[in-house]
């Protein structure tokens, strides 16, 4: 083959053509040849730990709507990153992950830092995984990986590249695009429309897929046409419906018997882009109340296959909901009773975490984006800080801590100056606290609020739910979070008195650059997801 183009040239050329010109990573020896002569029109965003690199890439992908490029270091770096890869998979975030590998000549001797069976390492939490058989196949493999990541259901993909491949000759990747939208069989849409038209008490359940597929306006139209109350699915990583809308009813619990009881008043339930039977703790009983019919729209055939009950309809949401809107009649159903507005808690020391969230709500800029990772306060958080617009809220849908802080960094990098407000537990922040350094290096408009209750409150609450009062290893004490922040170049302030909270919140939200607010709150002694069974 006669060409002056190298694998590195062809890869960066393809990335440039599809808009992946920001690389998130933590480099090592097996990536040096990839990064040599780094293109001037690309940006490398350094994360001080691999989970930070993947989480920040995910935030950037969510903010731009395009896959983000991640550079990881061989087996060790991939291993460090897998918790974040798992969450990206569950939340359907398109990432193209390139991991270094030792030279092809060294692989038979199981070299230091080499990855054994690299294609298998990140599975099953990537959609696609390869180490090409030949160096010249790397650019085409990257293109296949990108197209796979961006095809619904979107998600992370993985490419392992031996380090000596980058300087080998290669051909440019031909142009190719995929039109990924697809609709359900018309007979299936007609069946669902007929069920909705004939229902006495229909309901809609929405999940992360609604925002991922930019289908929220269509969901609002469908809910208003059918008069159906709308719930958000258990442990959803994003919002999917304006929470100040008259038809919004709240968040479903990730407990089988509780979820079934919430749905008992409905005869037809339509699920849109959500793994609705997504449980966190065990309970007995039916998946659905007797007499309730369930229809489930999703673009993921695997999701529909494992769901235990109901009728699955394979479709991308925009196409499927559009088809329903063409078939469903306008219903005249009374709106549900308005949800009561919770009163602001009284000031006390130590503070009620609800007071912190109410104070945040009062001072929150109109265009701010909320990122949350405080599991022990999640129900309260949603009840007091409603999400009212698309793209205004994100959390981690997998339950794997350490996702939200770096994801907030990436979302800020993809933004246009709007304030990113990341609310974390004191346990959660320590999984990826290095992300503060990246935020400081880029002077990002971020406010990080630590709800400091001295430990893993969610673990304590779940322990109480199953009758375990004394949980070993649930206490997190002795950490000066403002000192940790300052050590990473991020300004900070601690608040221990309710009298100082409002002024501190104003400072944190108005600071030029990232700011950490460490707020001491009382331990939450309530049981998670309701009372002990």
Residues 154 and 285 in one domain: no
> Is 129 an annotated catalytic residue?
no
> Is 280 an annotated catalytic residue?
yes
Beta strands in 157-267 (DSSP E): 157-162, 202-206, 230-232, 248-251
Given 76, 79, 224, 280, the catalytic residue = 280
Residues 149 and 198 in one domain: no
In the structure encoding, which two tokens stand for residue 83, read together? 């918790």
Whether 339 is covered by a domain: the verdict is: no
Sheet architecture: strand order including 22-25: 43-46, 22-25, 68-72, 95-101, 157-162, 129-130
**Contact yes or no for 82/51 (Cβ under 8 A):** no
Given 28, 240, 320, 392, the catalytic residue = 28
- Positive or negative, the Cα torsion across 33, 36, 38, 43? positive
Given 47, 63, 73, 488, the catalytic residue = 73
Given 25, 47, 50, 312, the catalytic residue = 50
Rounded to whole angstroms, the Cα distance separating 305 from 318 reads: 21
pLDDT in tens, the chain (533 residues): 445 899 999 999 999 999 999 999 999 888 899 999 999 999 999 999 999 999 999 999 999 999 999 999 998 999 999 999 999 999 999 999 999 988 888 888 888 877 889 999 999 999 999 999 999 999 999 999 999 999 999 999 999 999 999 999 999 999 999 998 999 999 999 999 999 999 999 999 999 999 999 999 999 999 999 999 999 998 888 888 999 999 999 999 888 999 999 999 999 999 999 988 888 888 888 999 999 999 999 999 999 999 999 999 999 999 999 999 999 999 988 888 888 888 889 999 989 999 999 999 999 999 999 999 998 888 888 889 988 988 999 988 877 889 999 999 999 999 999 999 999 999 999 999 999 999 999 999 999 999 999 877 777 776 776 677 777 777 788 899 999 999 999 999 999 999 999 999 999 999 999 999 999 999 865 556 654 33
Q: What range does the domain containing 404 cover?
A: 353-520
Question: CA 474 → CA 121, 429, 471, distances in Å?
Answer: 31, 15, 6
Whether 180 is covered by a domain: the verdict is: no
Residues 63 and 103 in one domain: yes
Pairing of strands 43-46, 95-101: unpaired
Q: Total domain count for the chain?
A: 3
> Is 171 an annotated catalytic residue?
no
Given 25, 31, 236, 427, the catalytic residue = 31
> Is 404 an annotated catalytic residue?
no
Residues 208 and 111 in one domain: no
Rounded to whole angstroms, the Cα distance separating 433 from 514 reads: 13
> Is 399 an annotated catalytic residue?
yes
Whether 416 is covered by a domain: the verdict is: yes
Whether 151 is covered by a domain: the verdict is: yes
Whether 369 is covered by a domain: the verdict is: yes
Angular region, 116: left φ>0, alpha ψ -120 to 50, beta rest = beta
Q: Which CATH number covers residue 76?
A: 3.40.50.970
Whether 372 is covered by a domain: the verdict is: yes
Rounded to whole angstroms, the Cα distance separating 171 from 493 reads: 54
> Is 478 an annotated catalytic residue?
no
> Is 50 an annotated catalytic residue?
yes
Pairing of strands 43-46, 22-25: parallel
pTM of the model: 0.94
């Amino acid at each position: 083959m006669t060409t002056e183009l190298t694998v590195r040239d062809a890869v960066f050329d393809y990335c440039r053509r599809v808009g992946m010109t920001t690389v998130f990573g933590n480099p090592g020896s097996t990536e040096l040849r990839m990064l040599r002569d780094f293109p001037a029109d690309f940006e490398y965003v350094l994360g001080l730990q691999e989970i930070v690199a993947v989480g920040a890439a995910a935030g950037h992908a969510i903010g731009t709507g395009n896959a983000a490029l991640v550079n990881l270091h061989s087996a060790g770096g991939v291993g460090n990153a897998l918790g974040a890869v798992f969450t990206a998979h569950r939340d359907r975030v398109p990432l193209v992950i390139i991991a270094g590998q030792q030279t092809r000549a060294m692989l038979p001797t199981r070299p230091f830092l080499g990855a054994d069976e690299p294609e298998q390492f990140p599975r099953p939490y990537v959609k696609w995984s390869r180490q090409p058989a030949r160096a010249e196949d790397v650019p085409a493999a990257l293109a296949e990986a990108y197209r796979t990541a961006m095809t619904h259901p979107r998600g992370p993909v993985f490419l392992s590249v031996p380090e000596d491949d980058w300087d080998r000759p290669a051909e440019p990747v031909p142009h190719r695009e995929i039109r990924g939208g697809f609709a359900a069989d018309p007979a299936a849409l007609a069946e669902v429309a007929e069920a909705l038209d004939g229902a006495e008490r229909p309901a809609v359940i929405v999940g992360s897929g609604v925002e991922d597929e930019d289908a929220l306006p269509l969901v609002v139209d469908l809910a208003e046409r059918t008069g159906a109350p709308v719930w958000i699915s258990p442990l959803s990583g994003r919002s999917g419906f304006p929470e100040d809308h008259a038809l919004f009813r709240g968040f479903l619990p990730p407990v089988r018997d509780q979820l079934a009881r919430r749905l008992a008043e409905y005869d037809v339930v339509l699920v849109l882009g959500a793994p609705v039977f997504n449980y966190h703790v065990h309970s007995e009983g039916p998946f659905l109340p007797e007499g309730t019919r369930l229809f489930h729209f999703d673009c993921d055939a695997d999701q529909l296959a494992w769901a235990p009950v109901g009728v699955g309809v394979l479709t991308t949401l925009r196409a499927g909901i559009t088809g329903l809107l063409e078939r469903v009649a306008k219903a005249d159903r009374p709106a549900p009773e308005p949800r009561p507005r919770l009163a602001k808690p009284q000031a006390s020391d130590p503070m009620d975490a609800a007071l912190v969230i109410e104070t945040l709500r009062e001072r929150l800029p109109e265009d701010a984006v909320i990122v949350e990772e405080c599991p022990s306060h999640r129900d309260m958080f949603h009840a007091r800080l409603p999400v009212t617009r698309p793209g205004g809220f994100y959390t981690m849908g997998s339950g794997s801590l350490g996702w939200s802080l770096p994801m907030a960094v990436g979302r800020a990098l993809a933004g246009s100056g709007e304030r990113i407000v990341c609310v974390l537990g004191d346990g959660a922040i320590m999984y990826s606290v290095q992300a503060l350094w990246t935020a400081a290096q880029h002077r990002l408009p971020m406010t990080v609020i630590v709800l400091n209750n001295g430990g893993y409150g969610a673990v304590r609450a779940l322990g109480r739910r199953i009758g375990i009062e004394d949980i070993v290893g649930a206490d997190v004490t002795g950490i000066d979070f403002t000192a940790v922040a300052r050590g990473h170049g991020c300004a900070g302030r601690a608040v221990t008195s309710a009298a100082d909270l409002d002024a501190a919140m104003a400072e944190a939200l108005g600071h030029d650059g990232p700011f950490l607010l460490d707020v001491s709150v009382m331990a939450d002694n309530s049981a998670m997801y309701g009372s002990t069974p």
